[in-house]
Amino acid sequence: MTAAKRRLSDLAKIHIAKKDLGMDDDDYRAMLQNIAGVGSSADLSIHGRSKVLHHLESNLGWKPKPQARKARQKITATTPVDRKIRALWLDLANAGAVRDRSEKALASYVKRQTGIDRLDWLSSKQAERVIEALKQWVARIEQQEGGTDEQI
C-alpha cells in the first residue's frame, strides 16, 4: 500500500471510529491534541495516526469492522461456445430481461437448464441446448420490443 493510500485509509478509520464512538468535535479535537499534539487529523503524521488509532482501539474500545469482500465468480471457461453463451446472456441483460448479469447468475441459469454447475463442465449437446434457449429468449424480447427479425 502506498503512503498516500495508507494515509487515507488511516484517516478514514479515525473518522469512522469517531462516529462509532459518538464523539463530538470538541472531545475529538481534545483527544487529537492530547495524543498527537495536533488540532486536526489532516495534520497527523504516520506516527500520530498510529498513536490515535491505538488509543481509539485500546483505551476507548473501538473495534474496526472487517471489510466485507464481495466474492466474484471467476470466469473459468473460455471456449467459443462459452463466450457465445455469455454474449447472449449479456445481450439479455442489456435488453433488461436479466436483472443480474453476473457470472453467478449465469451459472444459476445454466444449472436450471442443464443440472450442471459450471459452463466449462457442459457437454456440447448441453451447451447447444443452453444457446438455443437463450436465442429463443432474445427473439421473444425482440418481438416484444418490435425489433428486428434477426436472431443472435
Number of domains in the chain: 2
Residue-range definition of the domain harbouring residue 100: 80-144
Do residue 90 and residue 140 come from a single domain?
yes
Can you tell me the distance from the alpha carbon of 114 to that of 129, in angstroms, rounded to the nearest whole number? 8
Coil, strand, or helix at residue 29?
A: helix
Report field, pTM of the whole predicted structure over 0.85? no
What is the pLDDT at residue 72?
62
Whether residue 84 lies inside any domain: the answer is: yes
Structure confidence by residue, pLDDT tens digits, 31-40:
999 999 999 9
